[in-house]
Structure 1
Amino acid sequence: MKLRNIVLSLALICPAVASAHQAGDFFIRGGAALVRPTGNSDNVLGLGSFNVSNNTQLGLTFTYMATDHIGVELLAATPFRHKVGLRSTGTIATVHQLPPTLMAQYYFLDNSSKLQPYVGAGLNYTTFFDNKFTHTGREAGLSNLRVKDSWGYAAQAGMDYQLTDNWMLNASVWYMDIKTKVRFNTGSDTHSIDTKVNPVVFFLGAGYRF
């Protein structure tokens, strides 16, 4: 009886430890996603490579834990808007893109740990839309902007910190292999520029487990 009373007393006194990810869990993370392009392009009309600006949007990830250590995750976001320029012209165009990405993940620690580091690898599809030359671009004689959609690999590293049984904090970094062709016209001439966007994506947010 004494031992039983001690166990019951400890259970009442000590706060419950938040359990981490387990097989069968489904959770959503949401937060700020900063896309920072790191690539370049072929020479554009003798004026150098395209310069593509950073952009921050709402990022969302949806994760299912197939086992205690293996997860499957889908990345989604609100559309990213990038300014595109050249060395001597300033911004000549704006480009919108969405990069849905499917990842297989490995979580290193067992589910008794509040801290859950992980890595992932998978496939990215990036679609470009609502691509327009600015007034500066049109004044330079550029028209009919088209940007080809892209398929490529993706990799990530991240960390969750479990606050409660349901809530967690998350920080992660992604790399996406995004290669595209940018096509446009100058008068009757058509130009096709091989372009590597290859962004690093920084994500910081919170998650909820169902």
Structure 2
Amino acid sequence: MKKGLLILGAIFASAISFGQEASELHMRVRATGVVPMEDAKIEAIGGNVAVTNNLIPEIDFTYYITKNIAAELILGTSKHEVVAVNTALGNLDLGRVMLLPPTLNVQYHLYPTKNLKPYVGAGINYTIFYDQGQGKGRNAAVTSVDYKNNVGFGFQLGFDYKINDKLYWNVDV
């Protein structure tokens, strides 16, 4: 099963102030929505694959190369339920799988005001599948599910809003 991965960053609070200077390394902890985009072949019985979305804790590290340019590494892991839908045998529970989708982005940060710091980023993602679990119910017809690690692209648009010198509000899509 090939997967693309879209990471939707949610709201986070940072423990460190953000990128005023080059050579700074910052860490963020935030909630991230993992929304898999399925691309699968179901041989013999037809149908499509549906994979659940998940909200997970995530950690990322941002290194400021210059005041405006940074590299960000996003790390988190998520659990998903997988179902074959609309097959000749009906809907089939294919089990669960864990995803590890590390993403490396290059960001460009703007500083339009003292407190608002919007940014845009783009990068690469490599999704690793692990810890497969068996489905329940009528899965006697399903003899195997194969997951294929896959490379994808990531894009970001977000902003940091300064609450105080050590705390920021972040929204990132």
Say whether the fold is shared (TM-score over 0.5).
yes
Q: Report the CA distance shift for 1:165/1:25 in structure 2 as closer, same or farther (over 3 A).
A: farther
1:94: which partner in 2?
96
Contact 2:105 2:124 in 1 (8 A): yes
1:29: which partner in 2?
28
Residues paired across the two proteins, number: 152
Query: What are structure 2's unaligned runs of at least 5 residues?
Result: 1-16
Structure of higher CA gyration radius? 1
Task: Please tell me the residue identity of whatever aligns with 2:160.
Answer: D
Contact 1:24 1:65 in 2 (8 A): yes
Residue 85 of structure 2 corresponds to residue 83 of structure 1: no
Contact 1:107 1:117 in 2 (8 A): yes
Tell me, in whole angstroms, the C-alpha distance in 2 between the residues paired with 1:107 and 1:46.
Answer: 49
Equivalent residue of 1:89, what SS?
strand
Matches within 5 A, 1:111-126: 113-126=114-127
What does the per-residue CA deviation read over 1:118-148, in whole Å, with 9 as the maximum and x for residues that have no partner?
A: 1111111110001133123633x32343311
- The structure with the largest helix share of the pair is 1
Contact 1:101 1:154 in 2 (8 A): yes
Q: Report the CA distance shift for 1:56/1:125 in structure 2 as closer, same or farther (over 3 A).
A: same
Shift of 1:89: 1.5
Q: TM-score of the superposition, structure 2-length normalised?
A: 0.78
Identity %: 32
What does the per-residue CA deviation read over 1:157-199, in whole Å, with 9 as the maximum and x for residues that have no partner?
A: 11111122222111111xxxxxxxxxxxxxxxxxxxxxxxxxx
Task: Please tell me the residue identity of whatever aligns with 1:162.
Answer: K
Shift of 1:98: 0.5
RMSD: 2.0
Contact 1:40 1:51 in 2 (8 A): no
Q: Report the CA distance shift for 1:44/1:108 in structure 2 as closer, same or farther (over 3 A).
A: farther
Tell me, in whole angstroms, the C-alpha distance in 2 between the residues paired with 1:96 and 1:153.
Answer: 20
Contact 1:20 1:114 in 2 (8 A): no
Query: What are structure 1's unaligned runs of at least 5 residues?
Result: 1-18, 174-210
2:166: which partner in 1?
166
Q: Report the CA distance shift for 1:26/1:57 in structure 2 as closer, same or farther (over 3 A).
A: same
Tell me, in whole angstroms, the C-alpha distance in 1 between the residues paired with 2:159 and 2:44.
Answer: 44
Contact 1:108 1:118 in 2 (8 A): yes
Shift of 1:90: 4.6
Residue 75 of structure 2 corresponds to residue 73 of structure 1: no
Equivalent residue of 2:137, what SS?
helix
Matches within 5 A, 1:138-153: 138-139=139-140, 141-153=141-153
2:129: which partner in 1?
128
1:157: which partner in 2?
157
